[in-house]
Structures are given as structure tokens and as C-alpha cells.
Amino acid sequence: MVFDQLIGNFKLGIDYAIEQLINGINIGGIYALIAVGYTMVYGIIELINFAHGEIYMLGAYMAFTFYVMLHLPFPIAVLLSIFTCMLLGILLEFVAYRPLRNAPRLAALITAIGASLFLQNLALIIWGGIPKSFPEQTLPDFFQSPIITIHGNANISLLQYNIFFITVFLMLGLHLLITRTKIGTAMRACAQDKTTASLMGINVNRVITFTFAVGSSLGAVAGILAGLYYNIIKHTIGYVAGVKAFAAAVLGGIGNVPGAMLGGFVLGIAETFGAGYISSPYRDGIAYAVMILVIVFRPSGILGRKQTVKV
């Protein structure tokens, strides 16, 4: 039955495969942007920031609020939204995680789950339960209809093209930031050993604040892109996307930034091909199955290194 379907879907040809690949790259890019935030924070303070998915959700809501409710021009609304989410990320770290910096890890984890629930319900109170969407005129029409031909019948829209482009651009920027700048070096130092880093004169608190700021900004960008392309802004979207992105971070090797990017794309493409070739209702299952298979053979993820246990 499933096998017949698989053969039938292969008969749809190469253009179909290309279009599904593009769908996968789109959703994968969004997962990758969120996953980077998870992985950076984990790398430095070994905390899985469960509230990160909510920052993604708030990014979409903020852009909607600035653009639709306050009638600001769209680019300004986007920048303001990213800025607001950056501040929120910093605030979250300051209020919820900093007081627990030296507490048992479980306490911080439970706080993170609590912060996630708090932000979700806050969004429900502020914007209500009825989903929002950006108006059709947000982007010009030529931006949203498939006009670029890649191969035969496979067409993509400028919006899809740009999602990919923006994602890759931000990833490269982040990579340069971490490898080439002073603050990036400080981040890597803190990830290796916080105590020694502070003995060397690095202001660890500032580095952690910076990490949260960068991760939250990228999360907000992901939220806005998803809001534009998938057309939905709802208080629960952060949960589903957050879980997927967390899986992507684990798949790539938690704590490893290029790994998180790779994990996001792998998960997105696996999910889309699972839906397009095997079975659409089981798409999430297929994505997680891919993740589990990788973890079985490489427990520390695709690019993760074996970690020595700290005593």
C-alpha cells in the first residue's frame, strides 16, 4: 500500500522532487534559525531554553502589531520586532535564568518550561485566541507568486527564494561573528570553561546576555518569515516549532552552531519528503525517525563531539 504510493509518487518526476526539496529547505531554514538559538545558549550555560520557541512566536506577533495595528511601514515593523525580541531574550535571561545560574540544572530547566508557558499565555491574553495573519498586501504580489523557473515545471516565488537567501546570509553572519570577532572568541571561551574565561578577564555575564540577544533576534526573524510564508500567527506556534528546532539542534549536535543549521535543514527536508513521498499525516513521525536513527549511530549528533563529563 505504502509501497505503491511511493512508486506512484516517484512517477511524478524530477520537477516534483525539486519543488519538494524547496519546500523542505524553506521550513528547514526556519527550524535552523530557531535551532541556532537553542544550541548557542546550551553551549554556554548548558540550559535548554524551552522559552525560545515562544520568542519565535512573539517575533511574528510583534511584527504583526507594529505593522497592522500601529500602521508602521513593514521594514520598520520588522526591525522593531527583532529589537523587541532581543530585549525580551535579555530580560528572560536576567529574570528567569540568572538568579538560578548556580542552582541545580533541574531548577533552571523547570523555570524554562514555566517561562515558556507564561509567555504563551501572555500572548493569548494580549492577542486573543483567534489566529492572526499578515494582510495580502504586506508584500507585493509578484513577490508571492511562483515566477522563477528552476527546471521544467518547477517554479518558486521570490518569497521562497528570499527565505533561503536570508537564512543562509544570517547563518554566515553568525558564523563570522563567532569565529572572527572578539565577542565571538569570548563566547567560545565561555563555552569551553566559564571559570577560566572569567579569570582571563572575560565578563561572563555580558557574554551570556549577548548570546541570548543574538539567539532571540534570529528566533524573531524565523517567526516573521514563517508568519509571512505560512500565513499564521497563533500563540501555540512556538511550541511545535520549538520542539522541532530543539530536535534539529540535538540532531546536529547540541552546542554546535553549524550542526544546528545542518540539523534544521536535514529535519525540514526529511519532513517534507516524508510528507510528499510516503505519507502526509506521518510527516512529523518521519522527521523524528530520521533524528532517532542519527542519534542511535552518532549519540552526540552529526557534528557534535564526544563530551567529557565534568566532575
Partner 1 sequence: MKKLLNFRLLIFISILAISSALIFAACEKKPEPATGPEEATGPIKIGFAGPMSGDAAAYGEIIRNGIMMKIEEINEAGGINGRMLELVVGDELCDPKEAATIAQKFASDKEILAVIGHVCSSATLAALPYYKDAGLPAVSPTATNVDVCKKSEWMFRDVYRDDFQGEFIAKYAKEVLGLNTVAVFHENNDYAIGLMEAFKKGAEEVGLEVVGVESYVKDTVDFTPQLTKFKHLAPDGIFIAGYYQQGGLILNQAKKLGLTSQFMGADGLNNPELIEIAGKEASEGFIASSPFVYEAAGGEALKFKKDFEAKYDGMTPDWMAANGYDAVGIIAKAIEECGADRAKIRECLAGMNTEEKGYKGITGVTFFDENGDCLKPAYVSIIKAGEFVAAEKQMF
Q: Which residues bind partner 1 (CB under 8 A)?
A: 9, 12-13, 15-16, 19-20, 23, 26-27, 48, 105-106, 109, 124, 129-131, 133, 135-136, 141, 144-146, 153, 155, 157, 159, 226, 229-232, 236-237, 240, 250, 254, 271-273, 275-276, 280-281, 283-284, 307
Helix axes 204-229, 74-92, angle to 10 degrees: 140
CB of 80 or CB of 109, closer to partner 1: 109
To the nearest whole angstrom, how small is the minimum distance from the Cβ of residue 296 to partner 1? 13
CB of 31 or CB of 212, closer to partner 1: 31
With the CA atoms of 154, 156, 162 and 166 taken in that order, what torsion angle do they form, in degrees rounded to the nearest 10? -40
CB of 26 or CB of 81, closer to partner 1: 26
For residue 267, how far is the Cα from the chain centroid? 12
To the nearest whole angstrom, how small is the minimum distance from the Cβ of residue 151 to partner 1? 13
CB of 96 or CB of 270, closer to partner 1: 270
The residue type found at 2 is V
* Residue 90, CA distances (Å) to 15, 53, 208, 219 in order: 45, 15, 9, 13
To the nearest whole angstrom, how small is the minimum distance from the Cβ of residue 130 to partner 1? 6
To the nearest whole angstrom, how small is the minimum distance from the Cβ of residue 219 to partner 1? 16
To the nearest whole angstrom, how small is the minimum distance from the Cβ of residue 202 to partner 1? 25
End-to-end CA distance of the chain: give it in Å, rounded: 53
CB of 13 or CB of 99, closer to partner 1: 13
What is the per-residue burial (b if ≥16 Cβ within 10 Å, else e) of 188-205? bbbbeebeebeeeebebe
| CB-facing half-sphere around the CA of 303: CA atoms within 13 A | 16
